[in-house]
Amino acid sequence: MKITDLFVKASKNVPVDEQATNAKLLIQAGYVHKEMAGVYAYLPLGLMVIENIKQIVRDEMNKIGSNELIMTSLQRKELWERTNRWSDQEVDVWFKSHLKNGTEVGFGWSHEEPITDMMRNYVSSYRDLPQYVYQFQTKLRNELRAKSGIMRGREFVMKDLYSYSLTDKDHDKFYQETIDAYNRIFDRVGLASSTHFTYASGGAFTQFSHEFQTECEAGEDIIHLDRKSKVAINDEILSDAMIKGLKINASNLEKIKTAEVGNIFSFGSKKSEQLGLYYTDGKGAKKPVILGSYGIGITRLMGVIVEKFADGKGLIWPESIAPFRVYLATIGDDKDVHHSAKKLYEFLQKEGVAVLYDDRDLRAGEKFATCDMLGIPYRLVVSEKTIKNKKFEFKKRSNIEVEFVNQNDLENLLAIKS
């Protein structure tokens, strides 16, 4: 893509009504637009990042045998009443409204109930199980205070997976497979070393759960981490965890500020019993299905990555989720410079390298500032000097040093196999 074809441009102005670094930088760089407190629109560059994150998550969900679907946002009151989660006293984040005929409806904050109810149409025998389904869905939660930019909003994109198993043993096996898949996801987006599997409260879901918490000063959680044993406990249940006999030494626990990027819950058979989801086993006995629920906040993950990697010049995207891999810029208005840059642009496109070509008539400093603000992993520059030396100027966004590389060097650096 040429930068002149982009819908929006980066701005020099820092948003004055935002406190969170992720919101400031994403708005300034033209990735998101703030609609209201806790509600953001994702512009073309922001959508590219979201789709790249989703594709990584989709890959890993498909690897463990899950099927993608998408449910409705409108929720039936009577369905949630059967599980005691319609009441505002039990779940205090509902957005609710009425249809024209007076029927009260809710807007999906989670989907255990409707997916479990739907499964009654497709599960009746032990031969129908297990079933694993997931979706990428816009969730709506009426948070008292929307803060931390896109890390905690009233509207956000989540991946939620639901498992339906025959037995607790089968459930436990898939639960571990999901943990492994989540670890691969956080590795692929560059957060593996700072993300910890954490014992936590289940909130409005279950009594206890597990979370994936990323070390982040902008986060809203506190965990206690034993780095040696790799045991992490959310501050909310620290005393409970001690009582439950986890193998930890209290003196080894390090108190860390974190952001929750994923969570997983075991519901057992309770919700299936409440909603009437049963199967008939090989002996003809009727048994409830075992349910698990597994979430990753897609837009929150995007915000955490910004907080973790950004610097004073702007965003720094891990290569796996960046909107483009290469930022190509020209210096000067020499015809040979533009001809060489065009050839390079076409070559990169042909080789499947996502490249953003800065074809604006601006000074080098302005182009470089835009490149840094956008956070694209690699910067390539064509100038009279580089043409004379038959090389390109090459720089990684995360590095200070600039290299001068020839065509073969470039192909190796970008792993191009011509």
* Residue 80 to residue 122: CA distance in whole angstroms: 20
166 and 38 housed in the same domain: yes
Assess if residue 404 is contained within a domain. Answer: yes
Tell me, yes or no, whether 318 lies in a domain: no
Q: 176 and 256: one domain?
A: yes
| 326 residue type, one letter | V
For the full predicted model, state whether its pTM sits above 0.75: yes
Name the residue among 332, 337, 350, 182 with its Cα closest to residue 264: 182
Q: Do the domain assignments include residue 317?
A: no
Domain contains 418: no
- Exposure string of 156-192, with b = 16+ CB inside 10 Å and e = fewer, is bbbbbbbbbbbeeeebeebbebbbebbbbbbebbbbe
Looking at residue 199, which CATH number applies to its domain? 3.30.930.10
Indicate if 295 and 355 belong to the same structural domain.
Answer: no
Question: pLDDT value at position 203?
Answer: 63
The answer as to whether 319 is a domain residue is: no
Phi then psi for 18, rounded to 5 degrees?
-120, 140
What is the 3 state secondary structure string of 388-412? HCCCEEEEECCCCCCEEECHHHHHH
- One domain, residues 7 and 32: yes
Same domain, 200 and 121: yes
pLDDT tens digit at each of 418 positions of the chain = 999 999 888 888 888 889 899 999 999 999 999 999 999 999 999 999 999 999 999 999 999 999 999 999 999 999 999 999 999 999 999 999 999 999 999 999 999 999 999 999 999 999 999 999 999 999 999 988 888 999 999 999 999 999 999 999 999 999 999 999 999 999 999 999 999 999 998 665 556 789 999 999 999 999 999 998 889 999 988 877 665 667 777 888 999 999 999 999 999 999 999 999 999 999 999 999 999 999 999 999 999 999 999 999 999 999 999 999 999 999 988 999 999 999 999 999 999 999 999 989 899 999 999 999 999 999 999 999 999 999 999 999 999 999 999 999 999 999 987 5
For residues 231 and 210, the answer to whether their CB atoms sit within 8 Å is: no
The pLDDT, as a whole number, for residue 376 is 97
Q: What is the CATH number of the domain that holds 373?
A: 3.40.50.800
Q: Do residues 154 and 247 share a domain?
A: yes
* 60: in domain: yes
User: In this structure, are 289 and 341 located in the same domain?
Assistant: no
The answer to the question of residue 321 being in a domain is no
Residue 404's domain comprises: 326-413
**Spatial separation of the C-alpha atoms in residues 94 and 106, rounded to whole Å:** 7
Domain boundary among 309, 342, 359: 309
Indicate whether 193 and 336 sit together in one domain.
Answer: no
Same domain, 331 and 304: no
Same domain, 220 and 359: no
If one counts the domains in the chain, the total is 2
Same domain assignment for residues 143 and 204: yes
The answer to whether residue 39 sits within a structural domain is yes
332, 298: one domain: no
